[in-house]
């Protein structure tokens, strides 16, 4: 039985969240901080993550730590990533910095799914990417991809 010790996580914008230590340890980054931080590590700063994102990350960790074998874990995950694109990107970055593999895989896969079927123009629009090719360079690349029949 793990102790009911709690940890406070502080986001980049100063929001604080009190969580069970077991839940916090789901993030390998926090686990490392606790293990190397000494007896005084009850408040941990997470400057790479804003309050809104951190609260969602904690929600994910709670579910996965407290009920890892529940039948509805899969549907929880599916619903968890039904968020708008910006939130999804923030979740991906947060899970990367906080070293939460499950959430990183989940968000990466969801972003990858968003790419499917999109044209090059749609990708640029959705993710606000500037086209830095000259028209000639782009034409050359497109010529190499003449497999319309296959698509």
Partner 1 sequence: MMADEFPLDIIYGILSRLLIKSLARFRCVCKSWLKYINDPYLQTIHVTEEPTPFLGFSSRDTENLRKISLLRVDQGSMTVKKDPVYEFCYKGWSMTLGSCNGLILVCFNIGTSDHDTFVLQLINPLTKQRDTLPPIKIGTTYAHWFDSGATAGFAFDDSTNTLTTVCVILKQPDWSHDFFDVRRGKLCTMVHRSGMSSWRKVAQNPACPIGGEGVFAHGRLHWLASREFFRSPRKIVWFDVKVEEFGLIDFPDLPEMSPEFHYYVPLVDLNGELGFAYDRHNGFHMWILKQEKWVFHCFINYPLALTNLGYEDVMVSDCWNNAGDILLIVDDWHRGKHLLVYTLKTGDLKGFVWDDPSEAKADVGTDVRMSRSSMFSIRGINPSAY
User: Which residues sit at the interface with partner 1, rule CB under 8 A?
Assistant: 89, 92-93, 96, 104-105, 108-109, 111-112, 115-116, 119-120, 123-124, 127-133, 138, 141-142, 144-147, 149-151
Residue nearer to partner 1 on the CB measure, 42 or 115: 115
Residue 120 beta carbon to partner 1: minimum distance, rounded to whole angstroms: 5
Residue nearer to partner 1 on the CB measure, 1 or 151: 151
The answer to whether 22 and 65 are in contact (CB under 8 A) is yes
| CA nearest to 126, candidates 117, 118, 136 | 118
Residue nearer to partner 1 on the CB measure, 32 or 124: 124
Residue 115 beta carbon to partner 1: minimum distance, rounded to whole angstroms: 6
Surface-to-core class of residue 53, CB atoms within 10 Å of its CB (0-12 exposed, 13-18 middle, 19+ buried) = buried
Q: What residues contact 67, with CB distance under 8 A and at least 6 apart? A: 73
Residue 51 beta carbon to partner 1: minimum distance, rounded to whole angstroms: 19
Residue 29 beta carbon to partner 1: minimum distance, rounded to whole angstroms: 13
Quick check: helix, strand or coil at residue 8? strand
| CA nearest to 62, candidates 71, 46, 51, 73 | 73
């Amino acid at each position: 039985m793990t102790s009911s010790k709690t940890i406070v996580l502080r986001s980049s914008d100063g929001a604080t969240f009190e969580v069970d230590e077991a839940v916090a340890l789901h993030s390998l980054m926090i686990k490392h901080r606790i293990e190397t931080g000494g007896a005084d590590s009850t408040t941990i700063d997470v400057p790479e993550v804003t309050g809104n994102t951190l609260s969602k990350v904690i929600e994910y960790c709670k579910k996965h730590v407290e009920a890892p074998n529940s039948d509805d874990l899969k549907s929880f995950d599916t619903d968890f990533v039904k968020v708008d694109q910006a939130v999804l990107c923030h979740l991906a970055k947060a899970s990367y910095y906080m070293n939460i593999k499950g959430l990183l895989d989940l968000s990466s896969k969801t972003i990858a799914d968003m790419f499917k079927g999109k044209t090059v123009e749609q990708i640029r629009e959705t993710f606000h990417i500037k086209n830095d090719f000259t028209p000639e360079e782009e034409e050359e690349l497109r010529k190499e991809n003449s497999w319309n029949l296959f698509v």
